[in-house]
């Protein structure tokens, strides 16, 4: 039995009304002020991340993304901008084009009901950021540049699974204001997300201070990372006082550092 023409018309009318209502709701959300992004980021990070001078709307906006220390007194800032991709709604996703520093460093951020996905993200910050993230390192006056490259990263929402993806953090021309040896070297940290665990591997690319280490982060637990340092005999007198501030001296130029 076919539908009565009036029934078909009613279904079509309500379908168009629902579509129009959804589009209007999406437009209202998109026109909300960019300051809401700042508020949400601060809540999610416990106040360690924020967007200062936020301008625009959720559709398109810009500001200064800040990473602060535990006391909210010191930090670093980078220009940050975003633009909504409306075409992604046809696939059931919310996608933003995110820009850091300049137009050559943009990458997509995809948001769905179950996860947030990042791809091909590239960020360079001064090495002082290490002290902001790991307070034990802050007194060392770290110098050099950190480059974070995220090939792919999937973050679950509402307990829908674990972290998936991989990223590389490189510390170039690493140094410290507490030692005349400069640079100490170039280092690379590989990060791999596998479900409930994130694994990290540290290696030395070049330099007089040789570092190696491994660690892991589990959901709702503190990170555990153990690193070893080896100093060649010709640099031991200059570097031993620095390393003793954060690591155990095992003798013969060998040191052990634990971060928990």
pLDDT in tens, 111-132: 877 888 988 888 888 998 888 8
pLDDT attached to residue 170: 97
Q: Which residue has the higher pLDDT, 252 or 91?
A: 252
pLDDT confidence tier of residue 70, bands split at 50, 70 and 90? confident
pLDDT confidence tier of residue 41, bands split at 50, 70 and 90? confident
Residue 232 CB partners (closer than 8 Å, separation 6+): 208, 253
pLDDT confidence tier of residue 168, bands split at 50, 70 and 90? very high
**Looking at residues 127-149, what average pLDDT do you find?**
88
Q: Which residue has the higher pLDDT, 185 or 7?
A: 185
**Residue 40 pLDDT more than 80?**
no
**Looking at residues 69-83, what average pLDDT do you find?**
82
**Looking at residues 193-200, what average pLDDT do you find?**
84
**Residue 196 pLDDT more than 90?**
no
Q: Which residue has the higher pLDDT, 105 or 255?
A: 255
Q: Which residue has the higher pLDDT, 234 or 6?
A: 234
């Amino acid at each position: 039995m076919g539908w009565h023409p009036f029934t078909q018309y009613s279904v079509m009318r309500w379908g168009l009304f629902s579509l129009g209502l959804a589009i209007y709701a999406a437009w209202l959300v998109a026109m909300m002020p960019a300051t809401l992004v700042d508020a949400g980021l601060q809540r999610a990070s416990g106040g360690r991340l924020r967007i200062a001078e936020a301008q625009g709307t959720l559709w398109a906006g810009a500001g200064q993304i800040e990473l602060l220390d535990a006391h909210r007194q010191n930090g670093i800032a980078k220009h940050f901008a975003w633009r909504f991709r409306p075409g992604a709604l046809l696939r059931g996703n919310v996608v933003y084009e995110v820009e850091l520093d300049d137009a050559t460093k943009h990458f997509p951020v995809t948001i769905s009901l179950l996860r947030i996905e990042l791809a091909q993200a590239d960020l360079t910050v001064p090495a002082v950021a290490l002290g902001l993230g790991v307070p034990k390192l802050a007194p060392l006056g770290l110098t050099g540049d950190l480059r974070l490259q995220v090939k792919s990263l999937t973050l679950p929402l509402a307990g829908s699974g674990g972290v998936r993806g991989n990223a590389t953090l490189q510390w170039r021309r690493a140094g410290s204001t507490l030692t005349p040896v400069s640079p100490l070297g170039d280092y690379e940290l590989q990060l791999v997300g596998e479900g409930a665990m994130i694994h990290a591997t540290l290696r030395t690319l070049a330099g007089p201070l040789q570092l190696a280490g491994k660690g892991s982060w589990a959901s709702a637990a503190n990170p555990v990372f153990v690193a070893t340092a080896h100093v060649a005999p010709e640099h031991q007198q200059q570097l031993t006082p620095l390393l003793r501030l954060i690591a155990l001296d095992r003798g013969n130029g060998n040191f052990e550092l634990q971060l928990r």
